[in-house]
Amino acid sequence: MSWMRRFTNLFRQGRLNDELDEELASHIDEAIERGRSAEEARRAFGAELRHREQSRDIKLLPWLDALAADVVFGWRQLKKHRAVSAAAILSLALAMGATTSAFRLVDAVLLRTLPVADPARLFFLATTYIDGDGSPDYRDDFDYPTFRRHRKTVGDRADLMVVGMSARQDAAFGSSDETEKLYQQYVSGNVFGVFGLQPALGRLLAPHDDLTPGAHPVAVLSYDYWTRRFGRDTKVIGSKFRLGSARYEIVGVAPKGFTGTEPGAVTDIFIPSMMNAQAINSPGWSWFRIWLRPKTGVTPEQIRQSLQAVFSHEHQERVKSFPADTPKLTIDAYLSESVVLYPAASGASDIQKNYRRPLLILAVLVVLVLLIACTNVANLLTARAAARAREMALRVAIGAGRWRLIQLVVVESAMMAVIASTAGALFAGWSAPLVVSMLAPPEDPVRLILDADWRVLGFGIALTVTVTFLFGSTPALRASAVKPISALKGGEDPHSRFRLIHSLIAAQVAFCVLVLFVAALFLATFERLLNRPLGFSHQRALLVETEIRGKEQPPEIWAQVADHLRQTPGVESVALSGWALLTGNRWVCSVVVAGRAAEARSPYFLDVSPGFFETMQIGWIDGRDFRPGDVPPRTKEQNLPLAGVGIVNEAFARIYFDGQNPVGRSVEARQNKNSSAPLEIVGYVRDASYGSVREPIRPTVYVPIGDRANGTFVVRTAGDPLALAPILRREVSRARSEFRVHNINPQSALVRRHMIRERLLATLSFFFGGVALVLAGIGLYGVLNYSVIQRRREIGIRMALGARPAHVVRRVATEVFGMVCVGSLIGLAGGLACERFVESLLFEVKATDSGIVMMPILTLGAAAVLAALRPAIRAARIDPAQTLRSE
């Protein structure tokens, strides 16, 4: 309390003085009243001022007084070197802003705990598997029959919950037909109870809302959506909306702050899982995560073990039903799958899974940039401290304590850090949402809770303190270590003070090379992915996803709609496929060629209409296109196989026919465990990407499209494809009224979607690489420039004694460039060491590629030469006569 008073006293010195004056005056009055003469009383008192000072010194901690003086002095120092201070603060602000931004993202995606009861005891279930490329992965989506089995296994030892994936849907409120997009999430009836949530309005979903498939058309709004869409209107309870084929009644609003379970997605409406009626009894239809909370006294590992036991048993059983010719590798991989429980305290989402590593890598890059910026400022302050050695020496000589000097420099550092962190916070406020928008395609944006709360504030303060310490401590200690005698005499050992600066330069260069190295890896990855031949043209191609209300229709009807679309002005060609290339959908079916062992990985299948290859501009090699009336291989009742035709790609010919032309050959396409149908190859086309841009092109079999309830029209347009989108949407329904377009995307958007992570990493690492380079360049320039100024006298003497300018320049540059080389090597070694960590994010790029290794070195070398140019010229231009005279 008394400390607080001293502190407040600091800011009301005027009043304090008045109070003291008044007290002393009242004393004198008293004395006069008691009969002493006024003069005597006053004399006894002595100089009033002296008393005031003595009393005041006790009331005010002198330290605080000095602090205020330091702040004023520091501000004057900053203003005196305006350009240098501004550069330092700006670079620091940029780096701190980027760090804050990175923290906010990492916090929002990975760290922030859900606002639910006891989040630490929430888990989500996943099964590990080996993916097509042989690397381990996990899947965390399940079908409802599996959920039932798991629930039975676990019994009452844990609460098992269905937590659906937040999905973008069309909904129509009230009686209107206008649809709007909202994010909907299926949850089982126990979710709100287990999460311990209380409704903000109405009621939440309860177990009795989740008993019978299709029988519970009730919904709960999120608080956020209630605010945004309905302005917190309490009359919303009881109102209806249509979503899919059902009409729902709004029964309540979830508590404030709870926006679903997926970082990266914000749920607007919660719906009982039983309302996904068709999926309830469909094995293999995976549409939700399984969350669980073990009951008190039960460990997650116990739950996992019992689930694992059942899971292993099921797998053993299922292997028995595999076809006899299944390769052993496939079986082993299948049997090695296991159950895991991951902590769900911070939620669970694909964004989290896909961006965990990229975000951490970016965070590391950002911290490296921050270190570079700190080194810069430390160098700057050290140089300035050295230049102020005389001032410091004078302070020591007239009695300033060491602590007083340290305080002086620390105050100056802290002021810079505070200004920079404020500017940085503004920068973060602008850049964090920008990066969020880069995490996902604009059609389906990532929605993150990016509130600037106490966590962000706390981080900002911690960051400011750390940064002050990082760049302020060395200069402060140096300032305090000043030796008055040697400094006042005119300089100490000229080499000693450069040693520290030089090692800082080496560190800075090492960080910079590391950032550049990682940036080079990501840039090369993105560049290679971008230039990867897709095998088809995505220019001006529009994908019109269409569904039929009612039952599926034969290809002839679909062809009628396609014909109608072809009449639309601006349309060049139209074809139909089950789904578009690069949607991420895959249809896998095993194929056997007589006389060959089955392959471990089955080829992809895609059903397409005649004209698909022409529309997609997939190169033709041999054979013919599909004709109306062509059919795929299939089975009739009683498993009777029926022959069909197909068109295969180059990869298929390479693997199944050793690269020979397969047209006219026949293969067996497996239909189910016991039967396969013959497939005659009628066409042979060039390779085209199917599943993803990253994976090597897989053997692919195109088959004629059959009866379907949904499909995608591929439309090649003459002009801007998006301009045609609304027209095509209308025309489809005009062609046949039961046909309805539910989504339109340009094919190029699908291609872009596959590179979004790589684009993000490439863009941001390029940006940080540039910032690191500029900062390191400024640092080098500053140090060289400073060393030339400091050694003016030495250089002057050398030149007077006959040294040539080239010699002088070399002398100045050699040691600094030595440090640059050392730093580069350390940075490169660091880069190579961390390759393993980024490897999974790279595409056809190796850290040992000569180009990747050379890029950072050359860039940094160029920057170093550029930075050295001016100081070198300055050194060479030193006029010995002038320099020596001035000293």
Which stretch in 22-30, 237-245, 591-599, 730-738 sits in contact with another protein by CB under 8 A? 22-30
Q: What are phi and psi of 867, to 5 degrees?
A: -70, -30
Q: How many residues bind another protein (CB under 8 A)?
A: 20
Beta carbon nearer to another protein, 31 or 333: 31
- Secondary structure (DSSP) of 216-273: --EEEE-HHHHHHHHTT-GGGTT-EEEETTEEEEEEEEPPTT---S-TB---SEEEEG
Does the protein bind another protein through residue 800 (CB under 8 A)?
Answer: no
Does the protein bind another protein through residue 239 (CB under 8 A)?
Answer: no
Query: Which one of 22, 444, 451, 707 is in contact with another protein (CB under 8 A)?
Result: 22
Which stretch in 50-58, 297-305, 418-426, 607-615 sits in contact with another protein by CB under 8 A? 50-58
- 408, 495 contact by CB (below 8 A): no
261, two tokens: 């379970």
- Secondary structure (DSSP) of 213-226: TT---EEEE-HHHH
Supply the minimum distance, in Å, between the C-beta of residue 398 and another protein. 24
Does the protein bind another protein through residue 2 (CB under 8 A)?
Answer: yes
Beta carbon nearer to another protein, 48 or 835: 48
Beta carbon nearer to another protein, 55 or 560: 55
Does the protein bind another protein through residue 278 (CB under 8 A)?
Answer: no
Query: Which one of 17, 55, 153, 326 is in contact with another protein (CB under 8 A)?
Result: 55
Helix axes 805-833, 496-530, angle to 10 degrees: 50
Does the protein bind another protein through residue 13 (CB under 8 A)?
Answer: no
Supply the minimum distance, in Å, between the C-beta of residue 798 and another protein. 56
Does the protein bind another protein through residue 58 (CB under 8 A)?
Answer: yes
Query: Which one of 51, 229, 404, 564 is in contact with another protein (CB under 8 A)?
Result: 51
Does the protein bind another protein through residue 18 (CB under 8 A)?
Answer: no
Which stretch in 43-51, 436-444, 623-631, 680-688 sits in contact with another protein by CB under 8 A? 43-51
Which stretch in 55-63, 556-564, 611-619, 671-679 sits in contact with another protein by CB under 8 A? 55-63
Q: Give the position of tokens 């590992």.
A: 301
Does the protein bind another protein through residue 451 (CB under 8 A)?
Answer: no
Supply the minimum distance, in Å, between the C-beta of residue 33 and another protein. 8
Beta carbon nearer to another protein, 55 or 179: 55
Which stretch in 15-23, 470-478, 618-626, 657-665 sits in contact with another protein by CB under 8 A? 15-23
- 28, 78 contact by CB (below 8 A): no
Helix axes 62-80, 2-10, angle to 10 degrees: 40
Does the protein bind another protein through residue 353 (CB under 8 A)?
Answer: no
* CA distance linking residue 2 with residue 5, whole number of Å: 5
Contact string 182-221 vs another protein (x = CB under 8 A): ----------------------------------------
Beta carbon nearer to another protein, 13 or 227: 13
Please report, as a single letter, which amino acid is at residue 620. W
Please write down the long-range contacts of 279-283, taking CB distance under 8 Å and 24 or more positions apart: 279/143, 279/144, 280/144, 280/213, 281/144, 281/145, 281/213, 282/143, 282/144, 282/145, 283/143, 283/145, 283/146
Q: What are phi and psi of 256, to 5 degrees?
A: -60, 140
For another protein, the binding residues in 469-528 under the rule CB under 8 A are none
Helix axes 402-437, 350-387, angle to 10 degrees: 150
Determine the 3-state secondary structure of 172 from DSSP: strand
Beta carbon nearer to another protein, 2 or 321: 2
- 138, 340 contact by CB (below 8 A): yes
Query: Which one of 10, 24, 310, 340 is in contact with another protein (CB under 8 A)?
Result: 24
* CA distance linking residue 868 with residue 858, whole number of Å: 15
Determine the 3-state secondary structure of 754 from DSSP: coil
Beta carbon nearer to another protein, 47 or 597: 47
β 246-253/288-294 pair status: unpaired
Give the Cα-Cα-Cα angle 629, 635, 640 (nearest 5 degrees).
120
- 823, 506 contact by CB (below 8 A): yes
- 123, 345 contact by CB (below 8 A): no
Supply the minimum distance, in Å, between the C-beta of residue 51 and another protein. 6
DSSP assigned state of 718: S
Residues that bind another protein (CB under 8 A): 2, 19, 22-24, 26-27, 29-31, 34, 44-46, 50-51, 54-55, 58-59
